[in-house]
Amino acid sequence: MRFPILLPNIFNHPFTYESDLKLNMGDFVEVPFGKSKIIGVVWNDFEKNSLKKFKVKKIINKLDIPSLKKNTINFLNWFSEYNIVPKGMALKLVLLSGKPVKKFEKKDYQNFISDIKDNQIKLTSEQKISLSQINKFNKKFNVHVLQGTTGSGKTIVYFEALKNILKKGKQGLIMLPEIGLTNQFEKKFYEFFGFNPAIWHSGITKKNKEIIWSGIISDEIKVVIGARSSLFLPFKDLGLIIVDEEHDQSYKQDEGVTYNARDMAISRASFENIPINLITAVPSVETYENMKKNKYSFSKLEQRYQNASLPNYEIINLNNAKLEKQSWLSKEVIQKVNFHLEKKDQVLFFLNRRGFSPNALCKKCFLSFSCPNCSINLVYHKKKNNLLCHYCGFKTSLDRDCQKEGKCNLIFSGPGVERISEEIKKIFPLKKIEIFSSDTMNKKSSKDKLEKIVKNEIQILVGTQLISKGFHFPNLNCIVVVDTDLSSQGHDLRCAEKNLQLYHQLSGRAGRTGQPSTVYFQTYNFNSKMILDITNKNPEIFLNKEIEIRKKNNLPPFQRFISLILTGENETSLEKEAIKFKLFLENKVNGKILGPVSAPIFKLKKKYRIRLLIRGSKSLKLQNSLAKIISKHKFLSGIKLSVDVDPISFN
C-alpha cells in the first residue's frame, strides 16, 4: 500500500512510499531518502504526481511514538499556506533537530507531576467577573482578551482559568514574550499551582527538550511555559492557550521561518477547537479592532492590586535647563531622584539603548565607526572596551589609523545605558547601581540580580525596554525617562502604537505596592500632547484615533501587507533582479506591488537588501497567488528571497 510521507525539509509536498505495515495519518516512520535515512510523518494528502509511474521506495519501519494529531496536521498545512512556507519546514518546527523522541521512563517526568494544590488566594469582585466571562467559553474555540491595568492581577485570573482546564485532565500552554527571564514567573506559578511547569525556549538543554517533547506528546506533562517555538509542540490533549503580553513585538519570528506567534496561536486554538486568552494592558491595534467588532470577547480589570494608584507624570523641559557638558541628566531630575532615594524608593533610569554610546566619531578625520557588514553605526560598549554591531555581532577595537595622521581621536556622540550608569555613579557614589539590559540579564547571574532588586538591595536601576516586560519590583516608585525624543523617531507605521505600549508597560513597573510613584519625562521636544497620549489611563482614546488613521490609509489591520526582501552580495545585479522580479509579479498577484526600494538597513550581514511590498485584501487569495508565481521565478545565483507575511518591522 502507498503512503504520503512528509519530510522535515524544504519540500512543499509529501513523498510517496509503500509498506505492508498498518499505518495511519500522523504516524512517525523511518524512510530512505537519497543515500540516507530520515524520519517523516504519514501525511493527509499525496503529492500531485503520485499517480504517475515511478519507482516507489519502501518505508523502513514505524516508530514507537504517539501519532501527530489530525488537528496538528491541519494546522501545519494552514500555517504553511498562510506564511508561504514549505510544508516540510512547518513540520520541522514540530520536530527536534528533524527527529521525534521516544518516551522516557516515568522518573524523568517526576519534576512535572501536576498535583494541583488548593490555594487561598481570594479574587476581587472585578477579577471574579473576568474569570466567569473567560470560563463561559472554556469548552470550544473562542478568543477572549483580558485587558487590565498593569498590576491589576491579570496573571491570577488566567491561572484560575487554567486550573479549571487542568482539573479536566487537559494540557495548557502559557506563552511569554521574554522567556529567558522568567524566574519570577516560574516562582509565581509554583506558589499558585504547587508543581513545576515545563519551560521551553532556545536556552534549555537538549536532554530537557527531549524529555518535554516526549512528555507533551504522551500527555505526561500538563503545562508548558514557553517562547514562540512552544506553539509547535505536539500536544496530546491541549485545552487552553494563554498569550501573555499579546501586544509584544517579540512574538514575531523574523529569522528563518517568519511568523507571528500570537496570530498562529489563535489559529492553532481554532484547529484544536479550544479557547485562547490574550492578556494585555494595552491591546495591539489588530486585537483592539477585533474587540470592537465583537470578534473577540473581552473583560477588563480597572483596579490595581490592593487599590494601588497608577504613577503621576511630570515633564521636565530640557529647553529650560541647560545640561552640563558631557551630562545627560538635568539638575531638576537629580533633585527629584534624591527626594525618592531619601524615602528609600527604588529608582529606574530608562533609556532604550544598549552599550555606552551609539556613535563613535574621529574629531580629526570626521569618520564614524560603521559596521563593514551592515549599513549601520557600531555601538561602543565601554565595559567590554569594543565596538559592536547589534545586528551581525561584528566586533572591533577602538584602535584605528586616522586618514589625516596617527591614530583616530575619538569622541562619543549620544548616550547608552552604560554612559548613563557612569554618570549616575559619579552623582550617587554610595548607591548600589545595576544595568538591566539584554547584555547584563541573560547570564546565570540574572536570578540573583532579580532577587536583589526585589529586596531593594539595589537602589538605582538603569534599564532598556527589557525592564518593561512584566517584572514585579515592589520598591520601584520613581522612573526617569532619560530621552523621550529618541524613542519616538522611526520609519515604522507602528511607531506610535509601540510607544503607547512601551510607556504603559514601563509605568506599570512603578507604585505596585500602593506607595505614591512618579514617572519623569526628560525631553527637548516639549510635546505634552504626545506624552499625554502615551500615559493616558484610558489607552482606548489613542487606539481609536490610530484605528481611524489606519482605516483611512488602508493600513493593517484593514489590508494585508506582505514584504518581499531580496538579498545578494552584488548591489548592481540585485537592483536589476528586483526590477525584473517586480515585472514578473505584476498582473499575476491579487494585490498592489510597491517598490522595489532599498531597505532602510540597506546592507546586513554582508548582503545588500531591496524590498517590495505587496498590499491586498485579507484573504488567503493573496498568499496563494503569490506562492504559485514565486515558485515559477528563477532568481540569479546568489540572490535570495525572504517572504514576510504581516511584517512588524520595516527595517
- For 150-184, write each residue's pLDDT tens digit: 878 899 999 999 999 999 999 999 999 887 666 77
Across the chain, mean pLDDT equals 88
Helix H or strand E segment including 32:
strand 28-33
- Domain at 106-306, CATH from 3.30.70.260, 3.40.50.300, 3.40.630.30, 3.10.20.30: 3.40.50.300
Contact 520, 480 (CB under 8 A): yes
More confident site: 398 or 243: 243
CA–CA gap between residue 141 and residue 334 (Å, rounded): 52
Return the percentage of the chain with pLDDT > 70, whole number: 94
State yes or no: pLDDT of 315 exceeds 90: no
pLDDT at 184: 74
pLDDT at 51: 54
CA distances from 110 to 103, 115, 190, 235 (A): 14, 11, 15, 18
Partners of 277 in beta bridges: 144, 242
* Cα 559 → chain centroid: 22
More confident site: 115 or 17: 17
For 14, the 3-state DSSP assignment is coil
CATH superfamily of 560-645: Ribosomal protein S10 (3.30.70.600)
State yes or no: pLDDT of 535 exceeds 80: no
State yes or no: pLDDT of 92 exceeds 90: yes
pLDDT at 488: 46
Angle at CA of residue 12, ends 8 and 17, nearest 5°: 65
Helix H or strand E segment including 241:
strand 238-243
Q: How confident is the model at residue 443 (pLDDT cuts 50, 70, 90)?
A: low
Name the region of 490 (left: φ>0; alpha: ψ -120 to 50; beta: rest).
left
pLDDT at 180: 61
More confident site: 186 or 651: 186
All structural domains of the chain with their residue ranges: 2-69, 106-306, 308-356+415-547, 560-645
Contact 145, 280 (CB under 8 A): yes
Residue 205, C-beta contacts closer than 8 angstroms, at least 6 positions apart:
none
pLDDT at 308: 67
Least confident of 52-61, 154-163, 435-444, 632-641: 435-444
State yes or no: pLDDT of 118 exceeds 80: no
CA distances from 431 to 244, 425, 459, 478, 515 (A): 34, 8, 6, 15, 21
Strands 395-396 and 476-481: unpaired
State yes or no: pLDDT of 489 exceeds 50: no
Contact 260, 250 (CB under 8 A): no
Which residue, 254, 300, 292, is CA-closest to 557? 292
What pLDDT digit, counting tens, does each position of 332-348 carry? 999 999 999 999 999 99
CA–CA gap between residue 153 and residue 302 (Å, rounded): 10
State yes or no: pLDDT of 145 exceeds 50: yes
Q: Given this chain, do its domains 106-306 and 308-356+415-547 carry the same CATH topology?
A: yes
Contact 294, 161 (CB under 8 A): no
The DSSP call for residue 321 is S
Structural domain 308-356+415-547, CATH architecture: 3-Layer(aba) Sandwich (3.40)
The DSSP call for residue 415 is -
Rounded mean pLDDT, 55-60: 90
Rounded mean pLDDT, 502-518: 79
State yes or no: pLDDT of 486 exceeds 60: no
More confident site: 189 or 47: 189
Rounded mean pLDDT, 292-310: 84
pLDDT at 612: 95
State yes or no: pLDDT of 322 exceeds 80: no
pLDDT at 626: 92
Around 549, how many Cα atoms within 13 Å sit in the side-chain half-sphere?
11
Partners of 388 in beta bridges: 379, 395
H-helix segments, 343-429: 417-427
Describe the strand order of the beta sheet including 379-381 as a list of residue ranges.
379-381, 386-388, 395-396
CA–CA gap between residue 608 and residue 602 (Å, rounded): 6
DSSP assignment of 508-571: TTSSTTS---EEEEEESS--HHHHHHHH-S-THHHHHHHHHHHHHTT-TTSSEEEEEEEEES-H
CA–CA gap between residue 492 and residue 221 (Å, rounded): 41
